[in-house]
Structure 1
Amino acid sequence: MRKAAIAMMALATLAGAGTALAKDKAAKDKAPPEVVRQLVECRQIADNAARLACFDRQVAVFAEATQSHEIVVADRKDIQEAKRGLFGFAAPVGRLLGFGGGDDEATEIKRIDTKVATVRSIPNGWRLSFDEGGVWEQVDLKNFVMSPKIGQKAAITKGAFGSYFVSVNGQPGIKMRRVE
Protein backbone atom coordinates (compact mmCIF):
# COMPACT_ATOMS: atom_id res chain seq x y z
CA MET A 1 0.00 0.00 0.00
CA ARG A 2 2.82 2.38 0.90
CA LYS A 3 4.58 1.71 -2.45
CA ALA A 4 1.37 2.58 -4.31
CA ALA A 5 1.09 5.88 -2.42
CA ILE A 6 4.72 6.74 -3.20
CA ALA A 7 4.19 5.86 -6.87
CA MET A 8 1.07 8.06 -6.99
CA MET A 9 2.97 10.97 -5.40
CA ALA A 10 5.79 10.54 -7.93
CA LEU A 11 3.32 10.55 -10.81
CA ALA A 12 1.63 13.67 -9.45
CA THR A 13 5.01 15.39 -9.13
CA LEU A 14 5.96 14.44 -12.70
CA ALA A 15 2.59 15.64 -13.98
CA GLY A 16 3.09 18.95 -12.21
CA ALA A 17 6.57 19.30 -13.64
CA GLY A 18 5.24 18.53 -17.11
CA THR A 19 2.57 21.20 -16.71
CA ALA A 20 5.16 23.73 -15.56
CA LEU A 21 7.41 22.88 -18.52
CA ALA A 22 4.48 23.24 -20.91
CA LYS A 23 3.66 26.67 -19.43
CA ASP A 24 7.32 27.74 -19.76
CA LYS A 25 7.36 26.59 -23.40
CA ALA A 26 4.08 28.43 -24.10
CA ALA A 27 5.49 31.62 -22.55
CA LYS A 28 8.67 31.27 -24.61
CA ASP A 29 6.63 30.63 -27.79
CA LYS A 30 4.75 33.89 -27.21
CA ALA A 31 7.93 35.91 -26.72
CA PRO A 32 8.62 38.23 -29.65
CA PRO A 33 11.53 37.50 -31.99
CA GLU A 34 14.93 38.83 -30.90
CA VAL A 35 14.89 41.57 -33.56
CA VAL A 36 11.58 42.90 -32.26
CA ARG A 37 12.68 42.61 -28.62
CA GLN A 38 15.83 44.64 -29.35
CA LEU A 39 13.81 47.31 -31.15
CA VAL A 40 11.41 47.64 -28.22
CA GLU A 41 14.32 47.85 -25.77
CA CYS A 42 15.46 51.07 -27.48
CA ARG A 43 12.60 52.83 -25.65
CA GLN A 44 14.43 52.36 -22.34
CA ILE A 45 17.42 54.52 -23.32
CA ALA A 46 17.19 57.88 -21.51
CA ASP A 47 19.49 59.92 -23.75
CA ASN A 48 17.52 61.21 -26.76
CA ALA A 49 20.39 60.95 -29.26
CA ALA A 50 21.35 57.45 -28.11
CA ARG A 51 17.70 56.33 -28.18
CA LEU A 52 17.25 57.69 -31.73
CA ALA A 53 20.48 55.98 -32.84
CA CYS A 54 19.23 52.71 -31.32
CA PHE A 55 15.86 53.04 -33.08
CA ASP A 56 17.53 53.83 -36.41
CA ARG A 57 19.86 50.84 -36.07
CA GLN A 58 17.14 48.39 -34.97
CA VAL A 59 14.59 49.56 -37.55
CA ALA A 60 17.18 48.87 -40.26
CA VAL A 61 17.71 45.35 -38.83
CA PHE A 62 13.93 44.86 -38.63
CA ALA A 63 13.42 46.05 -42.22
CA GLU A 64 16.11 43.63 -43.44
CA ALA A 65 14.50 40.76 -41.49
CA THR A 66 11.10 41.47 -43.05
CA GLN A 67 12.56 41.80 -46.57
CA SER A 68 14.37 38.47 -46.22
CA HIS A 69 11.19 36.90 -44.72
CA GLU A 70 12.94 35.96 -41.48
CA ILE A 71 10.11 37.89 -39.85
CA VAL A 72 6.66 38.09 -41.35
CA VAL A 73 4.36 40.85 -40.20
CA ALA A 74 0.63 40.14 -40.38
CA ASP A 75 -2.34 41.86 -38.84
CA ARG A 76 -5.34 40.04 -37.34
CA LYS A 77 -7.25 40.34 -40.65
CA ASP A 78 -4.42 38.62 -42.56
CA ILE A 79 -4.27 35.85 -39.97
CA GLN A 80 -8.03 35.29 -40.09
CA GLU A 81 -7.89 35.17 -43.89
CA ALA A 82 -5.11 32.58 -43.79
CA LYS A 83 -6.98 30.50 -41.21
CA ARG A 84 -10.10 30.66 -43.34
CA GLY A 85 -8.14 29.39 -46.34
CA LEU A 86 -6.70 26.54 -44.27
CA PHE A 87 -9.99 25.68 -42.54
CA GLY A 88 -10.61 21.95 -42.44
CA PHE A 89 -7.09 20.60 -42.54
CA ALA A 90 -6.40 18.06 -39.79
CA ALA A 91 -3.20 19.61 -38.43
CA PRO A 92 -3.28 22.93 -36.55
CA VAL A 93 -1.75 24.57 -39.60
CA GLY A 94 -2.04 28.07 -38.20
CA ARG A 95 0.08 27.18 -35.21
CA LEU A 96 2.60 25.33 -37.38
CA LEU A 97 2.98 28.37 -39.62
CA GLY A 98 3.41 30.68 -36.64
CA PHE A 99 0.12 32.55 -36.77
CA GLY A 100 0.41 33.45 -33.13
CA GLY A 101 -2.79 32.54 -31.30
CA GLY A 102 -2.93 29.14 -33.00
CA ASP A 103 -6.42 27.83 -32.46
CA ASP A 104 -7.35 29.86 -29.40
CA GLU A 105 -11.01 30.62 -28.75
CA ALA A 106 -10.77 34.26 -29.82
CA THR A 107 -9.47 33.57 -33.33
CA GLU A 108 -10.64 30.02 -34.02
CA ILE A 109 -12.95 29.71 -37.01
CA LYS A 110 -15.88 27.40 -36.35
CA ARG A 111 -17.99 27.99 -39.46
CA ILE A 112 -17.52 29.20 -43.02
CA ASP A 113 -20.38 30.34 -45.22
CA THR A 114 -19.58 29.95 -48.89
CA LYS A 115 -20.96 28.74 -52.23
CA VAL A 116 -20.54 25.46 -54.09
CA ALA A 117 -18.05 25.81 -56.97
CA THR A 118 -18.03 22.23 -58.32
CA VAL A 119 -20.02 19.06 -57.62
CA ARG A 120 -18.95 15.52 -58.35
CA SER A 121 -20.47 12.20 -57.37
CA ILE A 122 -17.90 9.72 -56.00
CA PRO A 123 -18.36 6.07 -54.90
CA ASN A 124 -18.99 6.93 -51.23
CA GLY A 125 -21.04 10.11 -51.76
CA TRP A 126 -19.98 13.59 -52.84
CA ARG A 127 -16.87 15.57 -53.68
CA LEU A 128 -17.50 19.31 -53.47
CA SER A 129 -15.31 22.33 -53.97
CA PHE A 130 -16.16 25.79 -52.72
CA ASP A 131 -15.46 29.41 -53.59
CA GLU A 132 -12.71 29.45 -50.93
CA GLY A 133 -10.85 26.85 -52.98
CA GLY A 134 -11.16 23.92 -50.59
CA VAL A 135 -12.12 20.47 -51.89
CA TRP A 136 -14.11 18.21 -49.55
CA GLU A 137 -15.16 14.55 -49.73
CA GLN A 138 -17.97 12.82 -47.90
CA VAL A 139 -16.97 10.41 -45.12
CA ASP A 140 -20.33 9.22 -43.80
CA LEU A 141 -23.21 7.30 -45.34
CA LYS A 142 -25.84 10.05 -45.07
CA ASN A 143 -27.03 11.82 -48.17
CA PHE A 144 -28.44 15.20 -49.05
CA VAL A 145 -32.20 15.24 -49.60
CA MET A 146 -31.59 17.11 -52.85
CA SER A 147 -28.36 16.87 -54.84
CA PRO A 148 -26.05 19.86 -54.40
CA LYS A 149 -25.76 22.26 -57.32
CA ILE A 150 -23.10 24.77 -58.38
CA GLY A 151 -23.78 28.21 -56.93
CA GLN A 152 -25.85 27.04 -53.97
CA LYS A 153 -25.08 28.42 -50.53
CA ALA A 154 -23.11 26.12 -48.26
CA ALA A 155 -21.98 26.14 -44.65
CA ILE A 156 -18.98 24.21 -43.41
CA THR A 157 -19.13 23.74 -39.64
CA LYS A 158 -16.47 22.39 -37.31
CA GLY A 159 -17.80 19.49 -35.25
CA ALA A 160 -16.40 17.53 -32.33
CA PHE A 161 -13.11 15.62 -32.45
CA GLY A 162 -11.89 17.22 -35.67
CA SER A 163 -14.96 16.42 -37.72
CA TYR A 164 -16.63 18.81 -40.17
CA PHE A 165 -20.17 18.99 -41.49
CA VAL A 166 -21.19 20.49 -44.81
CA SER A 167 -24.71 21.76 -45.33
CA VAL A 168 -25.81 22.77 -48.83
CA ASN A 169 -28.85 24.94 -49.51
CA GLY A 170 -30.05 24.71 -45.88
CA GLN A 171 -30.16 20.90 -45.81
CA PRO A 172 -28.92 18.92 -42.81
CA GLY A 173 -25.13 18.61 -42.89
CA ILE A 174 -23.21 15.54 -43.92
CA LYS A 175 -19.83 14.63 -42.53
CA MET A 176 -16.95 15.54 -44.86
CA ARG A 177 -13.18 15.95 -44.76
CA ARG A 178 -11.00 18.40 -46.59
CA VAL A 179 -8.76 16.72 -49.17
CA GLU A 180 -7.26 19.76 -50.95
Structure 2
Amino acid sequence: MPARPLLHLVSAFALLAPSPALAADRRAAADQSQAIDTLLACRKIATSADRLACVDRELDRLSARIDSGSIAVVDKAQVERQRREQFGLAPRGSAIFANEANGGTVKEVRGAIASASTDASGKWVFSLQDGSRWHQIDDYTIGSAPRAGTTVLITRAALNSFKMSVGGQPAIRVRRTG
Protein backbone atom coordinates (compact mmCIF):
# COMPACT_ATOMS: atom_id res chain seq x y z
CA MET A 1 0.00 0.00 0.00
CA PRO A 2 1.42 3.44 -0.91
CA ALA A 3 2.42 5.65 2.00
CA ARG A 4 -0.02 8.49 1.34
CA PRO A 5 -3.31 6.44 1.47
CA LEU A 6 -2.01 4.77 4.64
CA LEU A 7 -1.40 8.19 6.17
CA HIS A 8 -4.97 9.24 5.31
CA LEU A 9 -6.33 6.05 6.87
CA VAL A 10 -4.34 6.59 10.07
CA SER A 11 -5.49 10.23 10.18
CA ALA A 12 -9.13 9.17 9.78
CA PHE A 13 -8.87 6.74 12.71
CA ALA A 14 -7.17 9.39 14.84
CA LEU A 15 -10.13 11.71 14.27
CA LEU A 16 -12.55 8.99 15.38
CA ALA A 17 -10.68 8.29 18.63
CA PRO A 18 -12.14 10.02 21.68
CA SER A 19 -10.05 12.89 22.97
CA PRO A 20 -8.38 12.59 26.38
CA ALA A 21 -10.40 15.60 27.56
CA LEU A 22 -13.67 13.91 26.57
CA ALA A 23 -12.62 10.66 28.26
CA ALA A 24 -11.73 12.58 31.44
CA ASP A 25 -15.08 14.38 31.27
CA ARG A 26 -16.90 11.05 31.05
CA ARG A 27 -14.92 9.63 33.98
CA ALA A 28 -15.73 12.70 36.09
CA ALA A 29 -19.45 12.41 35.22
CA ALA A 30 -19.45 8.72 36.18
CA ASP A 31 -17.63 9.55 39.43
CA GLN A 32 -20.19 12.25 40.26
CA SER A 33 -23.05 9.92 39.45
CA GLN A 34 -21.55 7.26 41.73
CA ALA A 35 -21.30 9.76 44.61
CA ILE A 36 -25.02 10.59 44.26
CA ASP A 37 -25.96 6.92 43.84
CA THR A 38 -24.07 6.03 47.03
CA LEU A 39 -25.96 8.71 48.95
CA LEU A 40 -29.32 7.59 47.54
CA ALA A 41 -28.54 3.96 48.42
CA CYS A 42 -28.69 4.96 52.09
CA ARG A 43 -32.49 5.11 51.74
CA LYS A 44 -32.57 1.30 51.44
CA ILE A 45 -31.19 0.76 54.95
CA ALA A 46 -33.99 -0.49 57.18
CA THR A 47 -32.77 0.67 60.60
CA SER A 48 -33.35 4.37 61.18
CA ALA A 49 -30.12 4.92 63.11
CA ASP A 50 -28.02 3.10 60.48
CA ARG A 51 -29.82 4.95 57.66
CA LEU A 52 -29.18 8.32 59.33
CA ALA A 53 -25.51 7.43 59.92
CA CYS A 54 -25.15 6.48 56.25
CA VAL A 55 -26.81 9.69 55.04
CA ASP A 56 -24.65 11.82 57.35
CA ARG A 57 -21.46 10.04 56.23
CA GLU A 58 -22.25 10.28 52.51
CA LEU A 59 -23.44 13.91 52.76
CA ASP A 60 -20.16 14.80 54.50
CA ARG A 61 -18.21 13.12 51.66
CA LEU A 62 -20.32 14.82 49.01
CA SER A 63 -20.05 18.20 50.72
CA ALA A 64 -16.25 17.88 50.94
CA ARG A 65 -16.06 17.06 47.22
CA ILE A 66 -18.27 20.04 46.36
CA ASP A 67 -16.10 22.30 48.52
CA SER A 68 -12.92 20.99 46.87
CA GLY A 69 -14.38 21.58 43.40
CA SER A 70 -14.20 17.94 42.28
CA ILE A 71 -18.00 17.85 41.98
CA ALA A 72 -20.13 20.70 40.68
CA VAL A 73 -23.85 20.96 41.25
CA VAL A 74 -25.72 22.79 38.49
CA ASP A 75 -29.39 23.12 37.79
CA LYS A 76 -31.10 22.64 34.47
CA ALA A 77 -31.49 26.40 33.93
CA GLN A 78 -27.71 26.87 34.25
CA VAL A 79 -27.08 24.12 31.71
CA GLU A 80 -29.59 25.64 29.26
CA ARG A 81 -28.10 29.13 29.68
CA GLN A 82 -24.60 27.72 29.01
CA ARG A 83 -25.84 25.88 25.91
CA ARG A 84 -27.34 29.11 24.55
CA GLU A 85 -24.13 31.04 25.23
CA GLN A 86 -22.10 28.38 23.39
CA PHE A 87 -24.54 28.10 20.47
CA GLY A 88 -22.54 28.14 17.24
CA LEU A 89 -19.17 27.53 18.88
CA ALA A 90 -17.23 24.29 18.59
CA PRO A 91 -17.54 22.18 21.77
CA ARG A 92 -14.60 22.75 24.12
CA GLY A 93 -14.60 19.49 26.04
CA SER A 94 -17.55 19.93 28.40
CA ALA A 95 -19.74 16.95 27.59
CA ILE A 96 -22.44 18.01 30.05
CA PHE A 97 -23.38 20.95 27.83
CA ALA A 98 -23.09 19.08 24.53
CA ASN A 99 -24.80 15.82 25.49
CA GLU A 100 -28.01 15.48 23.50
CA ALA A 101 -29.24 12.63 25.71
CA ASN A 102 -29.30 14.96 28.73
CA GLY A 103 -31.70 17.59 27.48
CA GLY A 104 -30.83 18.02 23.83
CA THR A 105 -29.09 20.78 22.00
CA VAL A 106 -30.27 24.30 21.34
CA LYS A 107 -31.96 24.39 17.92
CA GLU A 108 -32.25 28.15 17.55
CA VAL A 109 -31.36 31.41 19.23
CA ARG A 110 -33.12 34.75 18.98
CA GLY A 111 -31.25 37.97 19.54
CA ALA A 112 -30.83 41.57 18.52
CA ILE A 113 -28.09 43.25 16.54
CA ALA A 114 -25.75 45.54 18.45
CA SER A 115 -23.83 46.48 15.28
CA ALA A 116 -23.51 45.27 11.70
CA SER A 117 -20.90 46.03 9.08
CA THR A 118 -19.42 44.50 5.95
CA ASP A 119 -15.92 43.09 5.64
CA ALA A 120 -13.48 43.67 2.76
CA SER A 121 -15.25 41.05 0.62
CA GLY A 122 -18.68 42.62 1.16
CA LYS A 123 -19.98 39.97 3.58
CA TRP A 124 -21.85 40.94 6.70
CA VAL A 125 -20.35 40.78 10.17
CA PHE A 126 -22.88 40.95 13.00
CA SER A 127 -22.25 41.69 16.67
CA LEU A 128 -25.28 40.76 18.73
CA GLN A 129 -26.35 42.28 22.01
CA ASP A 130 -25.51 39.03 23.83
CA GLY A 131 -21.85 39.52 22.84
CA SER A 132 -21.70 36.86 20.13
CA ARG A 133 -20.20 37.67 16.73
CA TRP A 134 -21.40 36.09 13.48
CA HIS A 135 -19.87 36.29 9.99
CA GLN A 136 -21.77 35.70 6.73
CA ILE A 137 -20.29 32.80 4.71
CA ASP A 138 -22.53 32.71 1.63
CA ASP A 139 -23.05 35.16 -1.23
CA TYR A 140 -26.72 36.00 -0.65
CA THR A 141 -27.72 39.61 -0.21
CA ILE A 142 -29.89 41.04 2.52
CA GLY A 143 -32.76 43.15 1.17
CA SER A 144 -32.66 45.92 3.74
CA ALA A 145 -29.49 46.77 5.60
CA PRO A 146 -29.40 45.51 9.20
CA ARG A 147 -29.39 48.14 11.93
CA ALA A 148 -28.80 48.08 15.66
CA GLY A 149 -31.83 46.64 17.45
CA THR A 150 -33.01 44.53 14.49
CA THR A 151 -34.05 41.07 15.66
CA VAL A 152 -32.34 37.97 14.30
CA LEU A 153 -33.16 34.29 14.39
CA ILE A 154 -30.22 31.92 14.11
CA THR A 155 -31.08 28.28 13.43
CA ARG A 156 -29.09 25.10 13.10
CA ALA A 157 -28.83 23.91 9.50
CA ALA A 158 -27.35 20.83 7.82
CA LEU A 159 -23.87 19.58 8.67
CA ASN A 160 -23.49 21.74 11.78
CA SER A 161 -23.91 24.97 9.85
CA PHE A 162 -26.12 27.91 10.81
CA LYS A 163 -28.59 30.24 9.11
CA MET A 164 -29.50 33.74 10.25
CA SER A 165 -32.71 35.53 9.38
CA VAL A 166 -32.32 39.28 9.88
CA GLY A 167 -35.57 41.09 10.62
CA GLY A 168 -37.67 38.30 9.08
CA GLN A 169 -35.84 38.39 5.73
CA PRO A 170 -34.70 35.20 3.95
CA ALA A 171 -31.87 33.54 5.86
CA ILE A 172 -28.17 33.75 5.07
CA ARG A 173 -25.52 31.23 6.12
CA VAL A 174 -23.33 32.37 9.00
CA ARG A 175 -20.50 31.12 11.18
CA ARG A 176 -19.91 32.18 14.76
CA THR A 177 -16.53 33.86 15.14
CA GLY A 178 -16.70 35.03 18.72
1:177 positional shift: 0.5
Deviations 1:8-61 (A, max 9, x none): xxxxxxxxxxxxxxxxx9xx8775533212111211211111110111111111
Partner of 1:74: 74
Residues 135 and 98 of structure 1, relative CA distance in 2, 3 Å threshold: same
Whole-angstrom distance in 1 between the partners of 2:102 and 2:170? 26
Partner of 1:10: none
Which of 157, 160, 163 is 1:162 aligned to? 160
Structure 1 residue ranges, 4+ long, deviating more than 6 angstroms after superposition: none
CA contact (8 A) 2:119 2:125 kept: yes
How many pairs does the alignment contain?
151
Residues 150 and 100 of structure 1, relative CA distance in 2, 3 Å threshold: closer
1:1-180 equivalences in 2 (<5 Å): 31=30, 33-91=33-91, 93=92, 96-99=93-96, 102-104=99-101, 106-124=103-121, 125-180=123-178
Deviations 1:76-103 (A, max 9, x none): 2111111000001133x5xx31326713
AA of the residue aligned to 2:116:
V
What CA RMSD, in Å, does the superposition of the two structures yield over aligned residues? Answer: 2.2
- Gaps (5+ residues) in structure 1? 1-24
Whole-angstrom distance in 2 between the partners of 1:122 and 1:81? 30
Whole-angstrom distance in 1 between the partners of 2:129 and 2:86? 13
AA of the residue aligned to 1:102:
N
Q: TM-score, normalised by structure 1?
A: 0.75
Whole-angstrom distance in 1 between the partners of 2:39 and 2:115? 49
CA contact (8 A) 1:80 1:107 kept: no
AA of the residue aligned to 2:113:
V
Whole-angstrom distance in 1 between the partners of 2:34 and 2:96? 17
Residues 98 and 144 of structure 1, relative CA distance in 2, 3 Å threshold: same
Whole-angstrom distance in 2 between the partners of 1:107 and 1:33? 19
**Identical counterparts, % of pairs:** 28
Residues 72 and 138 of structure 1, relative CA distance in 2, 3 Å threshold: same
Whole-angstrom distance in 1 between the partners of 2:119 and 2:176? 15
1:69 positional shift: 2.1
Residues 99 and 170 of structure 1, relative CA distance in 2, 3 Å threshold: same
- Gaps (5+ residues) in structure 2? 1-22
Q: TM-score, normalised by structure 2?
A: 0.76
1:105 positional shift: 8.9
Whole-angstrom distance in 2 between the partners of 1:88 and 1:65? 33
